[in-house]
Structure 1
Amino acid sequence: MKNVISINSLKKSYKEVVAVNGICINVDQGELFGLVGPDGAGKTTTIRICCGLTNADEGEVKLFDRNIFEHRKEIQNEIGYLSQKFSLYGDLSVDENLEFFAEIHQVRNFHSRREELLQFTRLTPFRKRLADHLSGGMKQKLALACSLIHKPKILFLDEPTTGVDPVSRRDFWKILSSLLKEGITIFMTTPYLDEAERCNRVALMHQGKIISRDTPERIKNSVGKKSIEIITNDIKSSYKILKSIIEYEIQIFGDRLNIIADSPEKAITKVNQILNMNGIELLSYRIVNLSLENVFIHLINK
């Protein structure tokens, strides 16, 4: 598999804040690669440097074996970029936005490509509607269509489904799956760990650093632990009591606790004893494999 994105020892600071701290990432052709982390982790800065929109302080970024800083213009003609914020023109229609981006990328005979993208994103019935009058999900699909008008080889997506409703989010992923079948390489950032599970490989990013990088399955298996998901009649008190007494890592998710342990059977016996001593009833529990979210929190705590 040919390597099309190569990031080596990349660093970027904004005054005292280190946004990206010496990260290294390689992405293969035709791969869906996810850069995953919370707000402020350095994801957007990384993707903007890769697109040649922001300069790095140190390090190297190569796309198609060419340095982005030395061959910025020619590389930008071969990539597509969908930013976090809707950056299209609200007073232009869907058709007009696509035409405008075709002109920017010097796509001469864009009409058949536009029809193809409208059908692909299911925006054909809304082609005359102003972008400002589209729903959040439709805006993202239009922005994606505009980033594809010139047939890029690499598509950079910066948190493309943030703020999008569940149905539109599902549609968006169907579109991405179709793009992968066409051989396009997709490099995306996301704060959603469930989305990261769909990627071929991911890099977990925290405070400007990569804390783990592999396939989602290997990252989950690398910890070598299981999760006990428990529900009690008083989840907040359970969390406080268990957190202060037992040595196991405890994570709270809404109405349940996840306890990370090497030996889950031994751990649940101990947990049940402590809860009973404090007048709390253990309503149910189950032993499950770690999710990517469990692992990410575990690695940060570690």
Structure 2
Amino acid sequence: MNGPAIVVEHVGRRFGALEAVRDVTLTVERAEIFGLVGPDGAGKTTLMRMLAGVLHPDAGRIVLEGIDVAADPERAKTALGYMPQRFGLYEDLTVDENIYFYGELFEVQRAQYRARMAQLLDAAGLAPFGRRLAGQLSGGMKQKLGLVCALIHTPKVLLLDEPTTGVDPVSRRDFWAILYQLREQGVTIVISTAYMDEAQRCSRLALLHAGEVRECATPTSLKRRLPGALLAIAGSDPRAIRDALAGVPGVLGTLLMGDRVHVRVDDGTLRGPELDARLAERALAHAPIETVEPGIEDVFVALVGESA
């Protein structure tokens, strides 16, 4: 089939007075990893649930692999794998039994199921743990088991709603290695994430805020759109440094980044010495001011106009 894997046209969804998703239009190309990024309440989970056919949009339509999701959700489900934030693993069943359950749920043929399970368990590093109860797995292993269950019926599209939240860094790395393998196999992946380092691994990103898509582009393109220059200032009291520089002429925005403050300015060469002098006046010790490349978090804060 030609054309995008997913087409979203003017989709909206309300919960009473709350407009959770507002007039969202986007496309997801085949075999790309498409990221949804935004703070809590931005509409990521609501949009993901509509893509999966779990929720019906109040307005607009979603077409996934040529199937109108709202008009034919059962048919759409055969083409997609969906892993919500709290995936429905059965902790009193073993790894193998959980996978078997989902295979039966999607009516995967027995011979096909066995070969597919062996392949997925090996890719996820779970082959030695087939007889272990799911409740005895670590957080990262549970997420990988959830991914295997979502993939057992060989979907063309994979929807992942913040799958690595609370997972240790090594397991997150392993999880993304699996996603890259899936992309190479032609699987289209839509993932929402709260981790900015993960967002930078996506082919394209949609930045959501208050239910709207504010920007949609590649991570590199989004970084290039950031106006001004970005300066990094490290110090023992980064909050005091941020507060001292907020509202200073030429400062377009500030963002706390651990023990550093990212300061977006209109002219890095001009403003660097001025900011240095202001901090000296306030007796705020700091390391030399550096010009740095922006990250996705810097871009997001700047584009939605929020103060960090």
TM-score (norm 2): 0.95
SS in 2 for 1:265: helix
Q: Tell me the CA shift for residue 269 of structure 1.
A: 1.1
Determine which of 239, 251, 254 is the counterpart of 1:250: 254
2:103 aligned partner:
102
CA displacement 1:216-270 (0-9 Å, x = unmatched) = 0001101232210012353332222211434412222221111112311111111
Which of 152, 163, 167 is the matching residue for 2:170?
Answer: 167
CA contact (8 A) 1:232 1:284 kept: no
> Equivalents in 2 of 1:222, 1:284: separation in Å?
26
Q: How is 1:249-288 mapped onto 2 (pairs within 5 angstroms)?
A: 249-288=253-292
Aligned pairs (5 A) from 1:1-302: 2-109=3-110, 110-248=113-251, 249-301=253-305
Q: Which moved more, 1:245-254 or 1:173-182?
A: 245-254
CA distance in 2, matches of 1:234, 1:77: 53
Unaligned runs of 5+ in 2: none
3-state SS of 1:171 partner: helix
Q: Which letter does structure 2 place at the counterpart of 1:107?
A: V
Secondary structure of 1:49 counterpart: helix
TM-score normalized with structure 1 length = 0.96
Q: What amino acid sits opposite 1:143 in the alignment?
A: G
Preserved CA contact (<8 Å) 2:35 2:205: yes
Q: Structure 2 CA distance, aligned partners of 1:67 and 1:40?
A: 26
Cα drift, residue 171 of structure 1: 0.3
Shift of the alpha carbon at 1:293? 0.6
Q: Answer yes or no: is the 8 Å Cα contact 1:225–1:290 preserved in 2.
A: no
Report the AA paired with residue 162 of structure 1.
T
Kindly state the Cα deviation for residue 127 of structure 1 after the two structures are TM-superposed.
0.5
Assess if the C-alpha contact under 8 Å between 1:28 and 1:185 holds in 2.
yes
Task: Report the secondary structure of 1:11's partner residue.
Answer: strand
In 2: Cα distance, 1:214 partner to 1:299 partner: 13
Q: Which amino acid aligns with 1:208?
A: G
d(CA) in 1 for partners of 2:185, 2:177: 13
Which moves more between the two structures, 242-251 or 51-60? 242-251
* 1:102 counterpart SS class: helix
Residue 245 of structure 1: SS of its match in structure 2? Answer: coil
Q: Report how far residue 288 of structure 1 moved.
A: 1.1
Counterpart of 1:266, as a letter, is L
Gaps of 5+ in 1: none
Counterpart CA distance in 2 for 1:132 and 1:49 is 29
User: C-alpha displacement at 1:299, in angstroms?
Assistant: 1.4
Say if 1:86 and 1:139, in contact at 8 Å, map to a contact too. Answer: no
